Structure 1
Amino acid sequence: MSGALRIADMAGAEPDLVLTVPAEYEDGNGHVNIRHYFDLHARAGDVAFEAIGFDESYRDVRGLSAFSIEHRIRYLDEVLVGHDVAVYVRMLARSSKVVHGIQLLFDTTTGALANTFEFIEGHVSLEQRRTVPWPDDVAALLDTAIAAGDSWPALPHPPGLGLR
């Protein structure tokens, strides 16, 4: 897995979030503050999870949702205010109750991969507040998303988190 992944390598994949970095994201070092990277990843994750049916209706009707269990951010390059960014969410694997994925945040102004955000999300019953198995329809959508990631370029580093 090469660390030289560039935005051009993502041709054919659709980003889950595209944004021009606003001035309020800048920190004292002149680049994007770490808290804003997390927000960008959270926003992109919301889009990706909504695409597989995790929305208000899923919570309201089924009483089910996803909770964050673990995150790992690796910073590979800086992003400056005014630069354009694109975040791609890739599902890597799932078990009966959790999904493992990674997000790639590119500075599309420079073409560089700025960071990766690896995550483990658990499927939970909002009544029990415990992990529960994915419903068959959602499991099928996750499996489709995982298979779609097979056409992506190789990851810039091996995933560091694993399914439980």
Structure 2
Amino acid sequence: MSALPSLAEVDALGPLFVREVPERYRDLNGHVNVRGHYDLHMDAAEESWERQVGLDQAFLDRTGESSFSIAHHVQFHHEILVGHEVSAYLRILGRAPKTVHAVTVVANRTTGEIASTLEFVEAYVDLTTRRATEFAPEVAERIDALLAEHAALPWSLPSSHQLGTSRPS
């Protein structure tokens, strides 16, 4: 298992958002519950897909193509308390013709720690057939540019068990 990067290191990815954690995420233990972590990761994924990858409503309307989640694996590293300031990031880990492997990172800016990571695999989908298809060239180019930029980073994150862009043979 690799050590977690510092907040300064993940900040190099450029935060997708910075926000204060709302009261609704508090659980009986007094910290942010699993649903709160997951909501933050989903907000990050949606923001990155729209802003960085270009899979927004206009693209879907124009092409009839989007993405479906295939696998998610959340790892909790440090707790977050309500009222803490958090930020979220995307790092692309790999791409195949029809799938992308990535991770969102939620950092606790109040404590300076990585709070949780969500490693995931998405399939690019033709919504008329509801089947995976090869990425549109414009989307593949954006993902590949991010992948090249992210692969050059000097740090890594603990990976989940067997997530990736291809199935074992």
- Same fold judged by TM-score > 0.5? yes
Q: How does 1:34-73 map to 2 (within 5 A)?
A: 34-50=34-50, 51-73=52-74
Structure 1 stretch 18-27 or stretch 6-15: which is displaced more? 6-15
- Residue 154 of structure 1 deviates from its aligned partner by 1.5
How high is the TM-score relative to the length of structure 1? 0.94
Q: Partner of 1:163 in structure 2?
A: 165
Question: Does the 8 A contact of 2:7 with 2:107 survive in 1?
Answer: yes
Q: Which runs of 5+ in 1 are unaligned?
A: none
Contact 1:87 1:103 (C-alpha < 8 Å) held by counterparts: yes
Instruction: Say if 2:121 is the partner of 1:120.
Output: yes
The match for 2:21 is 21
Q: CA deviation at 1:157?
A: 1.4
Distance in 2 between the 1:71 and 1:11 partners? 23
Matched residue, 1:94: 95
Residue 56 of structure 2 aligns to which amino acid in structure 1?
D
SS of the aligned residue for 1:137 comes to helix
Mapped partners of 2:103, 2:123: distance in 1: 15
Name the SS for the 1:152 alignment partner.
coil
TM-superposed CA distance for 1:59, in Å, is 1.1
Scaled by the length of structure 2, the TM-score of the pair is 0.91
Residue 10 of structure 1: aligned partner:
10
1:74 alignment partner in structure 2:
75
Q: How big is the alpha-carbon RMSD for the aligned residues of Structure 1 and Structure 2?
A: 1.4
Partner SS, residue 15 of structure 2: coil
> 1:10 is aligned with what amino acid?
V
Shift, 1:114, TM fit: 0.8
Q: What's the offset of the Cα at 1:8?
A: 2.1
Using the aligned pairs only, state the percent identity.
37
The unaligned stretches of length 5 or more in structure 2 are none
- Are the equivalent residues in 2 in contact too, given 1:32–1:80 (CA < 8 A)? yes
CA contact (8 A) 2:73 2:160 kept: no
Query: Which runs of at least 4 in structure 1 moved beyond 4 Å after TM superposition?
Result: none
* Equivalent position SS for 1:31: coil
Contact kept, 8 Å, 1:7 with 1:111, in 2: the verdict is: yes
Task: Describe the SS at the equivalent of 2:40.
Answer: helix
| 144-153 or 132-141, larger mean C-alpha shift | 144-153
- SS of the residue corresponding to residue 142 of structure 2 reads helix
Task: Specify the alignment match of 1:147 in structure 2.
Answer: 148
Q: Is the 1:25–1:36 contact (alpha carbons within 8 Å) kept by the matching residues of 2?
A: yes
Matched residue, 1:32: 32
Q: Is the 8 A contact 1:10 1:153 kept in 2?
A: no
Structure 2 counterpart of 1:149, one-letter code: H
**Matched residues in 1 for 2:148 and 2:7: separation?**
21
Mapped contact 2:72–2:120 kept (Cα < 8 A): yes
Partner-residue secondary structure (3-state), 1:147? helix
Aligned residues: 164
